Amino acid sequence: MNPYVKSVQPQDDYCLLLTFENGEKRTFDLKPYLSKGVFTRLQNIALFKTVRVVSGSIEWQGEIDLSYDTLYLESKPVKAGAAKSKSRPDQKKNLRSLPTKKLKQTKVTAGAR
């Protein structure tokens, strides 16, 4: 049995960011469905963005829905940290190897006005 959907976030590119009850985050691309049956109505981006979770699955207004099995089996895992940072650890600069600039020291005398 596949996990239920816990939350859904519609994206501007007709993809859905899904979080399942087991903690997995996955992306479901709805574009292949947009030319079929009742899903053609979801070409209206405003309607597409009304998606909500109902009983572990998702639905839109007008009795348009997808099962949690379809969503889980046809979605792709979101890589950990993909949304957090675009730089990879192997691309980070080694701060110790950067040249340092010495600041010119100025002598401050007490009582100078």
Over the stretch 91-109, which tens digit does the pLDDT of each residue have? 444 444 445 555 555 555 5
How far, in Å, CA of 99 to CA of 11, rounded? 43
Q: Which amino acid is at 21?
A: E
> What percent of the chain stands above pLDDT 70?
71
Domains and CATH numbers, the chain: 5-81 (3.30.2020.10)
**pLDDT attached to residue 1:** 87
Partners of residue 28 on adjacent β-strands: 16
Whole-model pTM?
0.70
The DSSP letter of residue 69 is H
| Amino acid identity at 69 | D
The 10s digit of each residue's pLDDT in 67-94 is: 999 999 999 999 877 554 344 444 444 4
What is the distance between the terminal CA atoms of the chain, rounded to a whole angstrom?
81
